[in-house]
Chains A and B, each alone.
Chain A
Amino acid sequence: MRAITLVARKLLNAALLLLAVIVLNFILIHMAPGDPATVIAGEMGGASAETMAEIRARYGLDQPLATQIFVYARRVATGDLGRSYFFNQPVKDLILRRVPPTLLLMISALTLAALVGVALGLVGAAWPHGPTAHLITFFSLAGYAAPVFWTGLTLMLAFGRFWPIFPISGMYDVVASRHGLSLALDVLRHLALPCLTLTLLNAAQFSRLARASLLENLSMDYIRAARAKGLSEFQVLCGHALKNALLPVVTMAGLQFGPLLAGAVVVETVFGWPGLGRLVFDSVLRRDYPVLLGILFFSALLVVAANLITDALYHKIDPRTRRLF
C-alpha cells in the first residue's frame, strides 16, 4: 500500500514537472526574436499581408499567449505535438523516427561510461597510492576537461585519417544495403566514435566519483569487520564496499542523463548521427517551433523517466529505503 502511494506521488510529481516544462519552453520560445509566420512565408517564397494574417490564424499565432499555451498543453496531453512548419509532418512522427538512434547512442555511452568509470574507480581505490591511480586521475581530468566537440574531432582524426578503422559519419553504410546481423554490425561500427566521445566525457566523472565513494567506504568500520572475517581483498572490495559505493554512482547516472542529452546534440552534429540532436540543431536554424517544443518536451520526458528509473534502482540497491515487515 505504502509502495503504491509512493509510486503514485512520484508519477504525479513527474506529470506536474512536465507541465511546467511545457509552459516554460513555450514562453521562452515566444520571447525569442523572430516570427514563425515570416519563416513559413519565407518557405513559400514570400507572401502578402493577408496571407501572413491567414498563416497566423491557421497556426493560432494570433491568439493570446495564455490561450496558445493552453491549447498546446491540451493537445500534448492527447499525444499530439503539432505539425512541423518545415516538413509539414506531425512532430511526433519526426521525433519518434529519431529517438531510437539517440537512445542507442545515449544508453550505450552511459552504460559504457558507468562500467569503465566504476572499473577505473575500483583500480584507483584498490591501489590508491600507486602510479596506476595517478594515471587514471590524470586521464579522468583530461577527459572531463576536454570540450565534447574537440574530443569528437580528435577521435575523427585519429580513427578516420591516421588509423582509419571506424567510419566517421552517419549511422549506416550508404553504399551497401545490409540486413540482419550485418546491418547490426554496421551500425555498431558507426556507433563506435560518437559513443566513445560521449563515454570519454562521462567516464571521467564516474571514475572520480566511484573512486572517492569507494575510498570513503573502505575506511568504514564494516570493512574492517569484513577483513576481520578473513575475507580476501577482492571479496572485501567487490562484495562489501562496491555495493555501498554504487549508491552515489547510480544517483549520478540519473542526473547525468540530462547533460548527456545536451552532449548528444553536439556529438550527433559532429558525427552526422541521425538522431534528435541533429533535429534540434536544424530546427533552431529553421525556427521550426513546433519541432523544437516537441523535442524539448520529449527530452524532459526522457530525463524524468531516467530519474524515475534511478529512484527504482536506488530502492533496489539500498535496503534502508524500503521495509521488510
Chain B
Amino acid sequence: MSEPILEIEGLQIGGPEKESLAVDGLSLSIHAGETHALVGESGCGKTMTALAILGLLPRGFRTRGGSIKLLGEEITALPPARLRALRGSVMSMIFQEPMTALNPVLTVGRQISEVIVAKKILPPKEARERAVELMGQVGLPRPATLYRAYPHEFSGGMRQRVALCVALAASPRLIVADEPTTALDATVQAQILELLREIQTRTGAAILLITHNLLAAGFLADSLSVLYVGSLLERGPAAQVLAEPLHPYTQGLLASQPLLEIGAGALLKAPARLQAIAGQVPRYQDKPPGCLFYDRCGVSRAQCARERPPLAPFGASRYAACPYASPTLWRQTHA
C-alpha cells in the first residue's frame, strides 16, 4: 500500500499541568481518499488532536511525545514558518462553528481567495475566478454575486459551504474537519456530509473527521477511532465498529444514539429505550489509575480499577482496550 497522507504514532499532548496528558498514545493513519473518524464525547481530546496536527495548540499546550507525519514528514518539531507553509496548502481545517469561523468584516470571496494568493498558487485576479468557481462547486447559488457578500448575509449551511471553499482553496491533501455539521440543522448536515464525500471522491483528499455524531461517522468514515479522556478505546473499520462494537464504551455510545444508518445502507433498529451512559467523562487532569472507563462501565471487575488495559488486537483489523471486549453482548441485545 502507498504511503499514508497522515500517520500519527503514540501522540501525547500535555497541558499546563506537567503530569497530566490531554491526549495519550493516539495512533492512526489515513491514506489518500480515505476518511478516518475520531469519535468521542466532548472534552476527550478530539479537537486537541486536530489542533496539534495543524500546529495550532493553544498557549500552554504542546506535543509531549509520539509523532505526526504528514506525507512522510515529521511535523511535531517543525519550525513555525515551515508549519505555516504546510497549513492551508497541504493540510487545511474546517471548524465547528461556521458562524464565528469567518471574519465578519471581510467579504466571503476575499476569505477564500486570500488562501490561493497567500499560497502563491495564482495571482489575485485568477484567484478570484478560482474562488468563484469553488463557490459554484460547493453549491452556492450565483457565486459571482455572493463573492462580494459578507458572512452575516449567509445562513449557517451556506457559511459552512464557504468554510469548505476556504479549506479546499489550495487543494490540500489532508482536510481536518472538526465537528463540521454539529452546529447545523439536520437536513443541512446531510447536505454538507454529502458534499464532503463528493469532494473527497473528486480530489482524493484524506479526511480526518472529528465528531461525536456516530451517524456522521458511519456515513463518511472508512475507519474509526473511539477516544475517551485522551486515550484510544477502540479502533477499526467504521462499518464493523458500528455494527458490532467491542468496547463497552463504544457499545454505550451506540446504545445512546436514537437511530443509526450505516454507509452500506444497513439500518440498525432503534432500541425501545435510549440508554444513556451513567456518570460523566472525567477531566484529563483527574484520570483514574486503572481503566479510564471503569466507574461508568457495566462489565468492569475489580482488576479494572488497578490496571489500565492496553489497546489489543481483536481479529484481523480491529483493536480494543478492554480484556472483556466482545461483540457477543451487543449481538444479544441488538440482534
Contacts and interface: CB of A to CB of B under 8 A. Distances in A.
Contacts of B56: 224, 227-228
Interface in B57-114: 84-89, 92-93, 95, 97, 100-107, 114
A215 to B, nearest CB: 12
Contacts of B101: 221-222, 224-225
B87 A230 contact: yes
A220 B100 contact: yes
B317 to A, nearest CB: 32
Given A244-B103, A325-B153, A232 B54 contact: no
Contact of A239 (B54, B88, B114): B114
A324 interface: yes
B119 interface: yes
Interface string B140-178: 000000001110110000000001001000000000000
A235 interface: yes
Contacts of B107: 319
A320 B150 contact: yes
A318 B103 CA distance: 11
B118 interface: yes
Contacts of B5: none
Contact of A224 (B86, B95, B150, B152): B95
A321 B104 CA distance: 11
A103 B150 CA distance: 36
A225 B87 CA distance: 11
B13 to A, nearest CB: 17
Nearest to A246: B105
Interface residues of A, number: 24
Contact of A230 (B97, B100, B118): B118
Contacts, number: 80
B119 to A, nearest CB: 7
B87 A228 contact: yes
A222 B103 contact: yes
* Contact-size category for B: 20 to 34
A71 interface: no
B105 A317 contact: yes
Most chain B beta-carbon neighbours within 10 Å: one of A235, A243, A319, A320: A319
A225 B88 contact: no
A226 interface: yes
Given A222-B103, A222-B104, A231-B114, A324 B87 contact: no
A224 B114 CA distance: 15
Contacts of B86: 230
Contacts of B114: 229, 231, 235, 239
A225 B92 CA distance: 9
B169 to A, nearest CB: 8
A226 B118 CA distance: 11
A222 B56 CA distance: 13
A323 B148 CA distance: 12
A319 B154 CA distance: 13
A227 B91 CA distance: 12
Nearest to A231: B118
B106 A240 contact: yes
Contact of B105 (A226, A235, A318, A323): A318
B104 A229 contact: no
A317 B104 CA distance: 10
Interface of A: 220-222, 224-232, 235, 239-240, 243-244, 317-320, 323-325
19 contacts: A221-B95, A222-B101, A224-B95, A225-B93, A225-B103, A228-B56, A228-B95, A231-B84, A231-B88, A232-B84, A235-B114, A235-B118, A240-B106, A244-B103, A244-B105, A318-B104, A319-B105, A319-B107, A323-B153
